[in-house]
Structure 1
Amino acid sequence: MPDPRALLNDCFLHDKDRLRHHEALAILKERISCVAGTERIRLEEAGGRILAVEITAPRNVPQSDNSAVDGYAFRHADHDEAGGFFRLEQRIAAGHPSDAPLGPWGAARIFTGAIMPPGADTVAMQEDCEPHEQDGQSFVIVPTGLKPGANRRKAGEDVAEGDVILSSGQRLRPQDLAAIASTGLAEIEVFRKLRVAIVSTGDEIRRPGTGLESGEVYDSNHFLLRGLAEALPVEIEDLGVLPDQADVVSKTLAEVSQRADAVLTTGGASRGEEDHMLTSLDKLGSRYMWQLAIKPGRPMMFGQIGNCVFLGLPGNPVAAMVCFLLYGRPVFSVLGGGDFTEPVRYQVPADFEVLKKKPDRREFYRGTLVTDETGHTRARKFERDGSGLITGLREADGLIEIPEEATSVERGSLVDFLPF
């Protein structure tokens, strides 16, 4: 059953009656779960995808002790404080191991990545050594001060056989692909891409490339939300711009909910006579969240139509982006097999002041990190607060988060900075 607060007239809601940020997160965490199936793909196609199985090391990485530098391998027990005069017995390159053990005071010319010869445990860098010829025999003078095991990579030093390298639910970065490749796996199982439909609404909205009449605006939100969503492993279906007609909105949502995992809308999230997203959601499915005590982003909706998750974001671009970053991105991550990842927060001093802030509401300012004259990092607030100002999003590096209990912000006080 919807929260009773959602039945109140929006005009008379106070922030203390709206859902707080932590309450909204709790609802999202409770209601969502993975809906994506899995598929097996080649490793070169796996960048940015979400891993569906645990990856363990089938063998040591590296498999054998090897040299970390170009130089000379020898037994440290033959080395003394005065250095060492070693007889060159072998030459070992990477990919060409030797099974022959070194004799007493024997050394091997060795190259980076080459397997250490039997008995050798230390490598001297070539630039620190002095090759020498005597009576037709090649020698090398090794310097003093080398510790046992110097410049040697041990077998399993990076990963030991049986170690868990990556867990299910992790989004694969380039360094993760490198770790998987080091085990020899050429194919892995990942969650399939989430099917997300994006729709804009409003008789005044036009797509770029067309002319504008008086009172019309271009649909910047579609490209904003599409770009944000595509940073995750999703497949986007563009539903275009819907007119302010209740029957068209309801019919479109009913149809797309049959094939999409999630639908992402912008605009029409209030209870105005021309706002049909909210009423369509209530008519077709279930609404679990609406009206948040945050700024910007108050009229955000969350619910479902059948098995399709519904996220209704505000129409103002700043509010739409803030809501997607705070709520949409973690929701899509979980639906697609990943973790519920909340933004990273860094505490830094404020390079601004706010004389009066409304209590009972969490506020998110657009901001940048700057270095002051003392060399310290501070958070600077974008000077204008309007939710329709895309310039603030473009010039900002992240969000400055001010909690509900704060009624002002003093210059120099610690604030949370959430990088984009």
Structure 2
Amino acid sequence: MTTLNSISGSAGSLSQFDPQALPVSAAQAIVLQWATPQVPSERVPLRDALARVLASDVISPIDVPAHDNSAMDGYAFDSASLLVHDAASSGATLTLNVAGKAFAGHPYTGAIAPRACVRIMTGAPMPAGCDTVVPQERVECSGSTAGEEAAAGSLAEAVTESITFRADAVTPGANRRRKGEDLARGNAALRAGRVLRASDIGLMASLGIVDVAVRRRLRVAYFSTGDELRSPGEPLDPGCIYDSNRYTLGAMLQRLNVEPIDLGVVRDDPESLAATLKAAAESADVVLTSGGVSVGEADFTRTQLQTLGDVSFWGLAMRPGRPLAFGRIWSGGRPGAGRAALLFGLPGNPVATMVAFYQIVRPALIAMSGATPQPVPLIPARCDAPIRKRPGRTEFQRGVAERDAQGQWHVAPTGSQSSGALSTMSEANCFIVLAHESADLDAGDAVDIMLFDGLV
């Protein structure tokens, strides 16, 4: 598999599509340089730690397992019995007397005589002097009353008096899990920077841990800009549209388990925009806006970014998502005054907003949360239809991908690739990733796809 960074174009090259537009790989590198972890840690109960970022290594306070134990139901014995009269090499059978039983939580504590064994259940501690377990299905029992055992239903039930099995049915040390085999006391169970999964919660519970140090959730403020925008439920005046970007951004942020701060819709007014940006920088670590970053007369985000902070870049060699501004703003209204926050000025078209978020913003939010961004894998596929592509920009076309009977991935674009056609984003299940320098493709050509599953 390749990753996006390996195909997006070099950081030092200029786009053939627009000399002022930055290649995607260069923008990703710049953003990650700025997106340093800065949120403090806090302790939360284990039940509340899912999807949080681990702030420090979790050191195991115990051995796992805590004792040598049986890996299956069977009979525990001393493997030295296998060597008596060279039984294993001769193929002879071995008969052992059953001294008692061992259950998980109810170990056998008695002494075991030579040529004896203990009936043992999965997870039960290995009795002293025993190092091997022969599975119950490989032995023949004698001297027991099966009905008595079934009816007793307690630890005091009658036990098998002896078992017989082929000496070559098991090797010395077989079916025994050793103390500390999974995790030794004092070793790191989980490393800092990990986004905690359900299995991690279970692992910490198995160590007796009740709370854990995690990074505070990253605070991300977001709003839309434009006089034409109305929220769902409001009357739709002539020339107006419903604001989808704010709801899309809120949903994408929810998947990242950050703390979202919805600041609504800001009208096309420089003073209102400046006030909202300063307030957002005061309360949030990152500020996301949509709209207002192109070259229209009412597009003020870029100019306010220049006034309130530092501009790193605007304009990417990317389709959709070319008009994107990135930098830092200060709550005090000028560089160095007050509290700082990173700002992403996203495009106004809904699909462009989503593409810019997934390719540029999402890795930055993960890094600022204290986790390590993992490149989204690109999967090779065959394109079932021709695709038009201009060299000099990285394109993320919406596609529907599926695997054929031989396991080969095939993909076809989803109709209109307009950056305003949000319906085709819902129809798609992947991005068709077209590299910075690639040109038109014919049906049957190889492409890379980025599956939405786990991303969107």
Aligned to 2:161: 138
Q: What pairs up with 1:73-92 in 2 under 5 angstroms?
A: 73-79=76-82, 80=88, 81-92=91-102
Mapping 1:16-415, distance limit 5 Å:
16-79=19-82, 80=88, 81-133=91-143, 138-143=161-166, 144-306=168-330, 307-354=340-387, 356-372=388-404, 374-415=406-447
Unaligned residue ranges in structure 2 (runs of 5+): 1-15, 83-87, 146-158, 331-339
Structure 2 counterpart of 1:53, one-letter code = S
Say whether the 8 Å CA contact 1:16–1:360 is kept in structure 2: no
Match of 1:4 in 2: none
2:6 corresponds to which residue?
none
Q: 1:108-158 CA deviation, whole Å, 9 max, x = no partner?
A: 111111111122222233333332207997112335522333322222221
Distance apart, 1:402 and its partner CA: 0.9
State the TM-score, normalizing by the size of structure 1: 0.91
Kindly provide the CA deviation profile for residues 343-393 of structure 1, in whole angstroms up to 9, marking residues without a partner as x: 222223333322x41111111112233123554222332232111122222
Q: Specify the code of the residue in structure 2 equivalent to 1:212.
A: L
Kept in 1: contact 2:107–2:127 (CA 8 A): yes
* Separation in structure 2 between the aligned mates of residue 19 and residue 412 of structure 1, nearest angstrom: 30
Shift of 1:294: 0.6
Identical pairs, percent: 38
For the Cα contact (< 8 Å) 1:51–1:190, is it kept in 2?
A: yes
CA distance in 2 between partners of 1:237 and 1:375 (Å): 43
Aligned AA (2:133): V
Q: For residues 378-418 of structure 1, what are the alpha-carbon distances to aligned partners after superposition, in whole Å with 9 as ceiling and x for unaligned?
A: 23322321111222222222212111111122333332222
Q: Would you say the 8 A contact 1:297–1:320 is kept in 2? A: yes
Shift of the alpha carbon at 1:59? 2.7
TM-score relative to the length of structure 2: 0.84
Kindly provide the CA deviation profile for residues 174-210 of structure 1, in whole angstroms up to 9, marking residues without a partner as x: 1122222222221111110111111011112111122
- Alignment partner of 1:107: what SS? strand
- Give, in whole Å, the separation in 1 of the partners of 2:17 and 2:450: 27
For structure 1, which runs of at least 5 residues remain unmatched after alignment?
1-12
Q: Deviations over 1:60-110 (max 9, x none)?
A: 211211112222212233233334322111211111223334322211111
CA distance in structure 2 between the aligned counterparts of 1:282 and 1:35, rounded to whole angstroms: 23
Give the RMSD, CA atoms, in angstroms.
2.2
Checking the alignment, whether the CA contact within 8 Å between 1:29 and 1:340 is kept in structure 2 is no
* 2:142 partner letter: H
Q: Contact 2:96/2:163 (CA < 8 Å) preserved in 1?
A: yes
Shift of the 137–352 alpha-carbon distance from structure 1 to 2, 3 Å rule, reads closer
Q: List structure 1 segments (4+ residues) > 6 angstroms apart after TM superposition.
A: 134-137
Aligned with 1:48: secondary structure? Answer: coil
In 1, distance between residues paired with 2:236 and 2:437? 44
Q: Secondary structure at the match of 1:263?
A: strand
